[in-house]
Structure 1
Amino acid sequence: MEAWSDPKSPMWISFSNVVGLSIIGLGTINGGGSPFWEALHINKCDNLKINGITSIDSPRHHISINSCNGAAISQINLFAPEDSPNTDGIDLRDDCIAINTGSININITNINCGPGHGISVGSLGANGETATVSNVQVTHCTFNQTLNGARIKTWPGGQGYARNISFEDITLINSKNPIVIDQNYRDKGLLDGTEAIVKFCISILISFLCFALVNGQNYNVLNFGAKGDGQTDDSKAFVKTWSAACGGGEDIKTLLIPAGKTFLLQPIVFQGPCRSKSIKVQLDGIIVAPSNKEAWSNLKSQRWIGFSTVSGLTIVGSGTINGRAKVESFSTTYSEYFYYVYYVLLMKTARGGDDCIAINTGNFNINITRINCGPGHGISVGSLGADGEKAAVSNVQVTNCTFNQTTNGARIKTWPGGAGYARNIRFENITLIDVKNPIIINQQYIDKRRLNDAEDSAVAISNVIFVGFHGTTSSKDAITLDCSETTRCEGVVIDGINITMADGEKPKFACNNVDGNSDDTSLMRGCFKNV
């Protein structure tokens, strides 16, 4: 504390009155200090985005957000010692997230919370305060060994309201108080408060609760024979656990892979259909593949971990899947499958030598968000139409992703001679860090083994939107739209593009046989008819 220039300051790093602030990256904020200030304080910053950062050992609030409209916070990690005091601020040890007065239209999803006090609305109404909280939705969250789960707490003597609050699809793992509404919240210093008058029991919805370890709907792989020592083959135990969860009735089931354990798995398929209307895989531990080719029970298998014919499948958690796929051990395609599973499960970081995610034929209604990709070839739709294949891909949305030193960013690639369609595809809010080819549509995709493929047909590409790309490129041609003469690309939209080269120059585009529009007349002039 003696080393601080202003030990009386209530915060350490502060942003104030900044519109359009984005804080992203894979770095760490290490509070490591006194018990008196907040680590990161953000005040009156509209359209705020915080993505990917880690905060550890904050002495008080990890992240404090005040009077910010349009804030989006995603994919952050907060760590504090289990025995720490009130380390609030999308909080650990105390509330994981605390929603205080003035908060409106709050959406919280896919949070793994524990230990701590759960997710709370409040406390509200202290010292006669007039509270206003409305339109709060908390979905797809897990409370692991928390003191509370879903909680609303108000002080006696307060005023105002807390209304239109929904907690939905919540998994509980040994939580002491899963659901709490406390309109008589008091601390030991204010035991003589007057009657509570915060009117908050209005339109509160709590539904689809999964009480793990309470109602028998949790299936822990350790209870079915898994060792979790990283050496013993736990495949049979996982199959037994899956069979019990999948066939165990119509209620929501949770297959739990606990933290602190490492599970060795051979190639495995979790087969449906299941009797339960939905099934959740809670991955908090580590899953590893055999360490070398000789240890694989089925080296010819084209997949390591698979799910087949399972409706309502959800895969969440803070765990890790380690494919151990070395370049000298497997083909590029085989290695790509390992990493593909990793992306889908963790939705965090993807590193590989080919596409970070490849969306091939037969995929519909795909939502990809919060991916940090690099190095590699970015996120691709395709390749489609090889060997005259009839492709079908539609309704793909890729949002809030980062491409870091990738060869490509957002890409659609189809072969000459193909058929079918790729349509209704949207890439939005994409961050680029030294990406060679940020935006590509390539309807002339050919590898060196097949240079003479005829272009008598092509996969039809339509209704494709690229919006909100920002960052840097290492190429002069940041946007390449190379479409077919036989089947032009239609309905392509390019808006909100802010891409610069390392020297600060604005890059160019290359465009063939494409119909669409753009809000950037200087960048896309000559590409579209209206520009």
Structure 2
Amino acid sequence: MWIKFSTVSGLIIVGSGTIDSRGSSFWELNLKASQRPTALHISKCDNLRINGITSIDSPKNHISIKTCNTVAISNINLFAPETSPNTDGIDISDSTNINIFDSTIQTGDDCIAINSGSSNINITGINCGPGHGISVGSLGAGGAEAKVSDVQVTHCTFNQTTNGARIKTWLGGQGYARNISFTDITLVNTKNPIIIDQHYIDKGRLTEESAVAISNVKFVDFRGTSSNKNAITLKCSETTHCVDVVMDGIDITMANGGKPKVNCQYVDGESSDTDLMRDCFKNNTSS
């Protein structure tokens, strides 16, 4: 890590300065993610506040929040090239009561990633893109038990991102991802605006049938354009269906003016929208 804080209470990081981690020298060496530093790593903290800072070209993720309670992050700017590897904006793990708002994140990976052990996460007013969207996961790698709950993402914009709102889990994993909502989302030429994928595969677990249980998920008031014809993908496990999924106010069109498609597998839910979404929940028991 370039900058690391651990076992701290009441830490405040405020200012208009810039952390320049000069990541290009690491990317050119094709180093593994584990061999590259994080710009700002904070662990075992409570009552943390970060405001106003800018981070550019982190070799790996820009900000890592681990085993923290009560965190407020606002008005920050995180930048890395679209092609830069593993440059997540903010990674959250084993943490609770996290509030992230009014920030711009443009990177080569997830704008924000919410990992196992996280709960009570509130994200609002994020301008994301380029990047891989805002993700819950990935969860359950290597057969691990994962737990994520009570995540709210609202009033965010995904601008030319690879993904928009995403939940991703590994086959063979255990645990749950539940009580998750994405609301009031603007899409600008987003490749995969809405995606649930329970089929990440470990090579050693190709025959596994268990999956992290996904339940009580809401996608509400999405508007804008998709660059991909399959704008919505809900790819759930045959043995562990996604349940209580709600899709309302979905107004997505193709960037080129065509009509998008929806791909649904083993998802149980409801929608007040006509056409594609209601058909998705009625006819999705086979791939």
The TM-score normalised by the length of structure 1 is: 0.43
Which residue is equivalent to 2:64?
Answer: none
SS at match of 2:107: coil
- Shift of the alpha carbon at 1:289? 2.6
1:496 aligns with 2:231: no
Q: What are the residue-to-residue correspondences of 1:419-430 with 2, within 5 Å?
A: 419-430=174-185
SS at match of 2:171: coil
The alignment covers a number of residue pairs equal to: 249
Alpha-carbon spacing, 1:502–1:323, altered in 2? closer, same or farther (3 Å): closer
Q: What are the residue-to-residue correspondences of 1:383-462 with 2, within 5 Å?
A: 383-446=138-201, 450=203, 453-462=206-215
- Shift of the alpha carbon at 1:384? 0.8
SS at match of 1:307: strand
Output the amino acid matched with 2:19.
I
SS at match of 2:253: strand
Q: 1:272 & 1:452 partners in 2: Cα distance?
A: 37
Q: What are the residue-to-residue correspondences of 1:239-258 with 2, within 5 Å?
A: none
1:340 aligns with 2:95: no
Judge conservation of contact 2:36–2:59 (CA < 8 Å) in 1: no
Output the amino acid matched with 2:139.
L
Q: 2:204 & 2:225 partners in 1: Cα distance?
A: 32
Judge conservation of contact 2:84–2:108 (CA < 8 Å) in 1: no
Q: 1:455 & 1:374 partners in 2: Cα distance?
A: 34
Alpha-carbon spacing, 1:346–1:431, altered in 2? closer, same or farther (3 Å): closer
Which residue is equivalent to 2:234?
Answer: 481
Output the amino acid matched with 1:431.
T
1:364 aligns with 2:119: yes
Divergent runs of 4+, >4 A: 290-293, 299-302, 344-347
Which residue is equivalent to 2:5?
Answer: 270
Structure with a larger share of its residues in strand: 2
Which residue is equivalent to 1:307?
Answer: 42
Judge conservation of contact 2:168–2:197 (CA < 8 Å) in 1: yes
Q: 2:192 & 2:21 partners in 1: Cα distance?
A: 33
1:322 corresponds to which of 56, 71, 90: 56
Unaligned runs of 5+ in 2: 27-33, 61-79, 92-98
Q: What are the residue-to-residue correspondences of 1:90-169 with 2, within 5 Å?
A: none
Q: 2:100 & 2:219 partners in 1: Cα distance?
A: 25
**Cα root mean square deviation, aligned:** 2.9
% identical aligned pairs? 56
Q: 1:397 & 1:440 partners in 2: Cα distance?
A: 16
Q: 1:405 & 1:286 partners in 2: Cα distance?
A: 25
Output the amino acid matched with 1:286.
T
Deviates most, 281-290 or 403-412: 281-290
Q: 1:440 & 1:526 partners in 2: Cα distance?
A: 17
Judge conservation of contact 2:38–2:59 (CA < 8 Å) in 1: no
Output the amino acid matched with 1:399.
T
- Shift of the alpha carbon at 1:388? 0.4
Q: Which structure ranks higher in relative contact order (CA pairs < 8 Å, sequence separation ≥ 6)?
A: 2
- Shift of the alpha carbon at 1:478? 1.3
Q: 2:163 & 2:104 partners in 1: Cα distance?
A: 16
Report the structure number with the largest CA radius of gyration: 1
1:286 corresponds to which of 8, 15, 18: 18
SS at match of 1:528: helix
Output one character per residue of 1:232-257: Cα deviation in whole Å (capped at 9) or x when no partner: xxxxxxxxxxxxxxxxxxxxxxxxxx
Alpha-carbon spacing, 1:459–1:452, altered in 2? closer, same or farther (3 Å): closer
Deviates most, 370-379 or 477-486: 370-379
Deviates most, 424-433 or 366-375: 366-375
Unaligned runs of 5+ in 1: 1-265, 294-298
Q: 2:276 & 2:100 partners in 1: Cα distance?
A: 37
Q: 1:289 & 1:346 partners in 2: Cα distance?
A: 23
Output the amino acid matched with 1:281.
I
Judge conservation of contact 1:356–1:378 (CA < 8 Å) in 2: yes
- Shift of the alpha carbon at 1:461? 0.1
Judge conservation of contact 2:37–2:59 (CA < 8 Å) in 1: no
1:520 aligns with 2:253: no
Alpha-carbon spacing, 1:514–1:346, altered in 2? closer, same or farther (3 Å): closer
Alpha-carbon spacing, 1:282–1:484, altered in 2? closer, same or farther (3 Å): same
Q: 1:357 & 1:454 partners in 2: Cα distance?
A: 31
Which residue is equivalent to 2:94?
Answer: none
SS at match of 1:527: helix
Judge conservation of contact 2:144–2:174 (CA < 8 Å) in 1: yes
Q: 1:356 & 1:323 partners in 2: Cα distance?
A: 14
- Shift of the alpha carbon at 1:515? 0.8
2:259 corresponds to which of 506, 510, 517: 506
Judge conservation of contact 1:315–1:345 (CA < 8 Å) in 2: no
Q: 1:478 & 1:451 partners in 2: Cα distance?
A: 31
Which residue is equivalent to 1:380?
Answer: 135
SS at match of 1:430: strand
Judge conservation of contact 2:272–2:278 (CA < 8 Å) in 1: no
- Shift of the alpha carbon at 1:444? 1.0
Q: 1:408 & 1:491 partners in 2: Cα distance?
A: 22
Output one character per residue of 1:461-481: Cα deviation in whole Å (capped at 9) or x when no partner: 000000010001122221111
Output one character per residue of 1:294-321: Cα deviation in whole Å (capped at 9) or x when no partner: xxxxx9465332222221111112x312
Q: 2:221 & 2:269 partners in 1: Cα distance?
A: 17
The TM-score normalised by the length of structure 2 is: 0.77
Q: 2:12 & 2:245 partners in 1: Cα distance?
A: 37
Judge conservation of contact 2:19–2:39 (CA < 8 Å) in 1: no
Output the amino acid matched with 2:270.
N
